[in-house]
Structure 1
Amino acid sequence: MASAAGWPLDERGVAYGDGLFETVLVREGTPQLWEAHLARLARGCKVLDFPLPPRSALEHPLTQAGQELAVLKLILTRGSGGRGYAPPASPTPRLRWQLSPFTPDAARWQAGVRVRYCRLRLGLQPVLAGLKHLNRLENVLARGEWSDADTAEGLLCDSDGRLVEASCMNLFWQREGRLETPRLDRCGVAGTLRSVLLECLPIAEVDADPDVLASAEAVWLGNSVQGVWPVARLDSPDGEPLHHWTIGTEHRRLQAIAHDLLGYPTRLDD
């Protein structure tokens, strides 16, 4: 594991979550979906109003990557300074990073996963919607709702009851032959895999309540590190089964396209 870490006590990212992060799959030293990660980071810097480091600084950690599959975590904060919540007039952002070896869970690609609804509801904040900012306490609390190893993820709704995402993955489904994903203009993280899939596939962004999944022919979770997991079972917050899906051809089509983007296997036997 390689890293550049260490934080002073007046670091605003630690004190207030005043910053952004990216989690990037690195294959033989090459970052996957790199342009999408850089674009999201740039959007975040614009919203938070502090400068984006030069590309050379963001790419420097890649010089430490070996030939094995790894995950690069970049953490970019506003740095130190300011008084209380008031940000400094001229911030000096602080960049830290870590490279860790990574092995994806291929069994979840193949057999699909069991997921559940979470009780926690995401707050609405359109200004921050889509960004991967450091304020992730909602996700931490949601992930704490289950501990059984058979449950892979938890689905989250917003405070108005709309489907948003899983605790650390984006949500997709097919209904009446149409691919759909929740609209993320009020809250949630717009994943880089999601953004690239929206560019290359006719996926509709929709407002939907949880009942929509009952009529879905196929459901998936995906992100730029794990790839795409087909959903085989959906449970209530109490662990009671609500819906089952047989993993088949429909699931494999979206999975193959996503995995081709990440360099993962695109042919998986049903």
Structure 2
Amino acid sequence: MQSWVDGHPAHALASLKDRGLAYGDGLFETVAVKAGQPLLLDLHLQRLANGCSRLAIAADQSLIRCELLAYAQAMGEGVLKLILTRGDSLRGYGVSPGAQPRRILQAGPAAAYPEANALQGIELFDCATRLAEQPLLAGLKHLNRLEQVIARSEWQDPTYAEGLMRDTSGRIIEGVFSNLFLVRDGVLVTADLQRCGVAGVMRAALLVEAERLAIPFHVTDISLEQLQQADELFVCNSVYGVWPVRAFADLSWPVGPLTRKLQSIARTLLDV
């Protein structure tokens, strides 16, 4: 399916003066689409609006919603990527007063991951790349993803379906393209993302569900020692849902009951 730029089908993605291309000045959302419906749409748009507010990008959120719904209906099934940039500017970091945000919509096929990832669990690669601590950008799904690009280039072995990333202080933060949860004594724990990391949409949805079901949870710093003491471990994102983690380095975990419960919830959230 053809990409849309600012609501219109386009062969070229954007102007060469676009600040997203020049500086990574923008945000993006990756949205699963089924039967013409964008899944977890409200959470995606809430994160986008928060990012626009923090980066002072004056985007029309109602227009974005309408275009996204129309594009998802046209594509039917697959993975939709929304890229929102600050728009064009001349040379230099300063923002042109009249810059108009640019909206780019792209369609891709439905993600095809091995069924074993969800059923039997995955093994995590220990990434050497560390996430820089920058509270001004923490949590945002901004276009600057070079840390993840470098981290993902560290392994080619298909044994590893995902990599584990820490920050420069050694705290456990997330996967390369997912968020991480551990379970200890029936309590769900996920990393505090106030210094770095991406506040994933599935992570947010699972925390809402945990609160609804009275599952105790903590959002806090996670150390390697806490990982070693965990009873269960899993990763999640808004495309594949939940994957149990069965191994990392010399550690291993069973696929536990709380992981299976939340996996089932995630599967429902990604169904229509």
Fold shared, TM-score > 0.5 on shorter chain: yes
- In 2, Cα distance between equivalents of 1:212 and 1:31: 36
Identity of aligned residues (%): 45
Is 1:11–2:18 an aligned residue pair? Answer: yes
Equivalent residue letter for 1:164: I
Q: Is the 8 A contact 1:28 1:66 kept in 2?
A: no
* Long gaps (5+) in structure 2: 5-11, 211-215
- In 2, Cα distance between equivalents of 1:2 and 1:231: 37
Q: Which residue of 1 aligns with 2:263?
A: 255
Equivalent residue letter for 2:23: Y
Correspondence list, 1:148-187, <5 A? 148-187=157-196
- In 2, Cα distance between equivalents of 1:245 and 1:207: 20
Q: Which residue of 1 aligns with 2:46?
A: 39
1:9 CA drift (Å): 1.5
1:247 CA drift (Å): 2.1
Aligned mate of 1:218, from 232, 236, 241: 232
Q: Is the 8 A contact 2:33 2:80 kept in 1?
A: yes
Equivalent residue letter for 2:222: A
**CA-to-aligned-CA distance 1:248-270 (integer Å, 9 cap, x gap):** 43321121122222229xxxxxx
Q: Is the 8 A contact 1:68 1:101 kept in 2?
A: no
SS at match of 2:139: coil
Q: Is the 8 A contact 1:69 1:103 kept in 2?
A: no
1:110 CA drift (Å): 0.7
- In 1, Cα distance between equivalents of 2:158 and 2:267: 24
Q: Is the 8 A contact 1:234 1:243 kept in 2?
A: yes
Q: Which residue of 2 aligns with 1:130?
A: 139
Q: Which moved more, 1:85-94 or 1:137-146?
A: 85-94
Is 1:23–2:30 an aligned residue pair? Answer: yes
SS at match of 2:194: coil
1:50 CA drift (Å): 1.4
1:57 CA drift (Å): 3.6
**Aligned-pair Cα RMSD in Å:** 1.7
- In 2, Cα distance between equivalents of 1:69 and 1:115: 29
Aligned mate of 1:199, from 208, 220, 236: 208
Q: Which residue of 2 aligns with 1:209?
A: 223
Q: Is the 8 A contact 1:50 1:91 kept in 2?
A: no
- In 2, Cα distance between equivalents of 1:68 and 1:203: 36
TM (norm. structure 2) is: 0.89
Is 1:110–2:119 an aligned residue pair? Answer: yes
1:104 CA drift (Å): 4.2
- In 1, Cα distance between equivalents of 2:173 and 2:59: 28
Q: Which moved more, 1:188-197 or 1:3-12?
A: 3-12
1:101 CA drift (Å): 2.0
Q: Is the 8 A contact 2:17 2:90 kept in 1?
A: no
- In 2, Cα distance between equivalents of 1:263 and 1:11: 36
- In 1, Cα distance between equivalents of 2:88 and 2:2: 24
Q: Is the 8 A contact 1:11 1:79 kept in 2?
A: yes
**CA-to-aligned-CA distance 1:107-144 (integer Å, 9 cap, x gap):** 21111111122111110110111000000000000001
SS at match of 1:2: coil
1:83 CA drift (Å): 4.3
Equivalent residue letter for 1:50: I
Equivalent residue letter for 2:227: L
- In 2, Cα distance between equivalents of 1:44 and 1:82: 23
SS at match of 1:185: coil
Q: Number of residue pairs matched?
A: 258
SS at match of 2:3: strand
Q: Which residue of 2 aligns with 1:2?
A: 2
* Long gaps (5+) in structure 1: 236-241, 265-270
- In 2, Cα distance between equivalents of 1:101 and 1:90: 36
